[in-house]
Structure 1
Amino acid sequence: MIKQLVSALALCLATALPGVAQTGIGTPVTAEILPGWVKADGTRIAAIKFKLAPGWKTYWRAPGDAGIPPQFDWSRSDNLRGVGITWPAPKVFREGGVRTIGYKDELVLPITLAPRQTGKPMRLTATLDFGVCSDICVPQQLEVSALLDSTDRTPTPAIAAALAARAYSGSEAGVRSATCSLRPTANGLTIETRLDMPPAGRRELVVIEPGQPGLWAGEMNSKRSGGTLTATGDLSAMSGGAVAIDRSAITITVLGDNRAIEIRGCTPG
């Protein structure tokens, strides 16, 4: 599984820049900061808005085996203590036998900003490393910066809509139980999740995020039987060593035709 990931990323990186130069498409994505509003506790709800050229898509935090996971560097910001990201529910793309997870056309990514000094202006500077794909994959690095000094408390419609588009929590979606069984393999572990929950649509894709540095989860094979959704896949250590799992750190996301559900943690199965 790790070899497949490295090969996919190497292919994207090897073909990206020459492909752009040859096709003359220009920049396939732009980004800007939406300043948002200030909450009563002093935190700010803002967003980064990505605008993609027609036919291009970018990736969710867990992009699939052929995708490029996004990374954000906020370290050059001023008066910023912490950042929380709320991901809108992504779409599943199935093209040429490859399954990736992400967004097309436009992505408004809400961020919750905690200042070091409440009531003082904030300079938000972010370096964004991510991938976009059409017929080719192009790694991108963009820098966005804005002075956030307004005290407006009126929610921005575009950001509010993106917040409303997040995945349902397990309790909101009626998840009754979530268990994880683990079995050692030559390269790590096989994980099987069993979710007692109502259907999220005709097609349901289960995504596992281990929640621990150095661990990689491969694609899951999902099937439903009545009220139970079962998914099986592999967990591997990037270093190739032994794998230890904290079940409470695992995030299980179900992407269905009708809705997305995010479940935090699982119990032994």
Structure 2
Amino acid sequence: MLSRLRRFTLCSLALVPFAGPALAGDTSAWSAREGTAARLVAGGAQEGSHDGSLIGGVEIRLPEGLKTYWRYPGDSGVPPHFDWSGSRNVEAVEVLWPAPVRFDDGGSFSIGYKRDVVLPLRITPKDRSQPVDLKLNLDFAVCGKICQPANAALDLALPPGGIGAPSAALTQALASVPRPAELGARSEPGIAAAELHHASDGATIRIATHVGNAATADLFVEGPDEDWALPLPARETGADGRTIFVLPVDGIPKGADVTTARLRFTLVDGDRAIEVDTPLSAR
């Protein structure tokens, strides 16, 4: 299987450039007045943080019928790329990804967002007593019947401690970020087991889950780095009634060992989602 970047085929090569002027306040300016656009969103200090971390977000506006991609885009597509190198007084920025959905790209399946989305940020300043100047050069893909790459240059000044409380949209996005969970949890949603099965027709990964809605629950599997391109799993019903997700062992980079690698499993069950980071069990 090809890497995610090589598997992304653009039907249009036109670059859609956006530029947002610097703005101090709750948000930056939108990168475009109409259509697809992005902006930075400010929040306050992260609750319980001991390093002065601030909460913020990248809000992406998508016109009806368009979509954009998750950190792992699936069979086709390209994830957003964040360049924070122009920022001042910033030690690190972590993107906290809301639970995505699977969608049909016409013969292949991708992972992402079908409507406007806020991607929460955890911003760690170098000096918590000083302002933060957050500068983002964002590259992302916007797809309908055709796909186009887009770019947004955004700038937002944050005072020490951030700006007030997160907006309702940012708060909702934070609530939809999958929570960390342990393998073997019996709660819903939960992942009971993640096993490597060997058969004459090839090896498969089987993930047994506890979900509230078996018809709509979905699961996404990622490798340790972006060189991995694991396929999207199919859904089955086990003999005990549990929902099982199954995928072939494919898209493994040369020299990697699926039996020892830690994989990341994101299980989405309605408005609840969890994330489990674990190696596979052999069977």
Query: What TM bracket, shorter-length normalisation?
Result: 0.7 to 0.9
Q: 1:47 touches 1:109 (CA, 8 Å); kept in 2?
A: yes
Q: What letter matches 1:129 in structure 2?
A: D
What does 1:208-219 correspond to in 2, within 5 Å? 208-219=221-232
Q: Once the two structures are superposed, what CA deviation does each residue of 1:12-58 show, in whole Å capped at 9, x if it has no partner?
A: 1x524299xxxxxx974211111111236321000111111222111
The corresponding residue for 1:202 is: 215
What is the TM-score of this pair, normalised by structure 1?
A: 0.81
Runs of 4+ in structure 1 off by over 6 angstroms are: none
Change in Cα spacing, 1:81 to 1:200, as seen in structure 2 (3 Å) is: farther
Q: 2:3 touches 2:228 (CA, 8 Å); kept in 1?
A: no
Q: 2:37 touches 2:61 (CA, 8 Å); kept in 1?
A: yes
Q: Which moved more, 1:85-94 or 1:113-122?
A: 85-94
Q: 1:83 touches 1:112 (CA, 8 Å); kept in 2?
A: yes
The corresponding residue for 2:156 is: 146
Equivalenced residue count is 256
In the TM superposition, residue 242 of structure 1 has moved relative to its aligned partner by 2.4
Q: For 2:54, which of 44, 51, 57 is the aligned residue?
A: 44
In the TM superposition, residue 123 of structure 1 has moved relative to its aligned partner by 0.9
RMSD (Å) for aligned C-alpha atoms? 3.1
What does 1:144-183 correspond to in 2, within 5 Å? 144-149=154-159, 151=161, 152-170=163-181, 173-175=188-190, 177-181=192-196
Change in Cα spacing, 1:176 to 1:87, as seen in structure 2 (3 Å) is: closer
Change in Cα spacing, 1:76 to 1:217, as seen in structure 2 (3 Å) is: same
The gaps in structure 1 that reach 5 residues or longer are: 20-25
Q: What letter matches 2:12 in structure 1?
A: T
Q: What letter matches 1:111 in structure 2?
A: L
Cα distance in structure 2, aligned partners of 1:254 and 1:210: 15
Is the partner of 1:208 in helix, strand or coil? strand
Is the partner of 1:161 in helix, strand or coil? helix
Q: Which moved more, 1:103-112 or 1:146-155?
A: 146-155
Q: Once the two structures are superposed, what CA deviation does each residue of 1:205-251 show, in whole Å capped at 9, x if it has no partner?
A: 3321002352221232332211251312233345xx22224756311
What does 1:57-72 correspond to in 2, within 5 Å? 57-72=67-82
Is the partner of 1:63 in helix, strand or coil? strand
What does 1:77-226 correspond to in 2, within 5 Å? 77-149=87-159, 151=161, 152-170=163-181, 173-175=188-190, 177-181=192-196, 190-225=203-238, 226=241
Is the partner of 1:62 in helix, strand or coil? strand
What is the TM-score of this pair, normalised by structure 2?
A: 0.78
Change in Cα spacing, 1:28 to 1:138, as seen in structure 2 (3 Å) is: farther
Is the partner of 1:218 in helix, strand or coil? coil
The corresponding residue for 1:15 is: 12
Identity of aligned residues (%): 26
Change in Cα spacing, 1:137 to 1:190, as seen in structure 2 (3 Å) is: farther
Higher share in helix: 1
Change in Cα spacing, 1:182 to 1:116, as seen in structure 2 (3 Å) is: farther
Q: Which moved more, 1:71-80 or 1:216-225?
A: 216-225
Change in Cα spacing, 1:106 to 1:113, as seen in structure 2 (3 Å) is: same
In the TM superposition, residue 173 of structure 1 has moved relative to its aligned partner by 3.2
The gaps in structure 2 that reach 5 residues or longer are: 17-32
Q: 2:15 touches 2:148 (CA, 8 Å); kept in 1?
A: no
Change in Cα spacing, 1:46 to 1:2, as seen in structure 2 (3 Å) is: same
Q: 2:217 touches 2:270 (CA, 8 Å); kept in 1?
A: yes
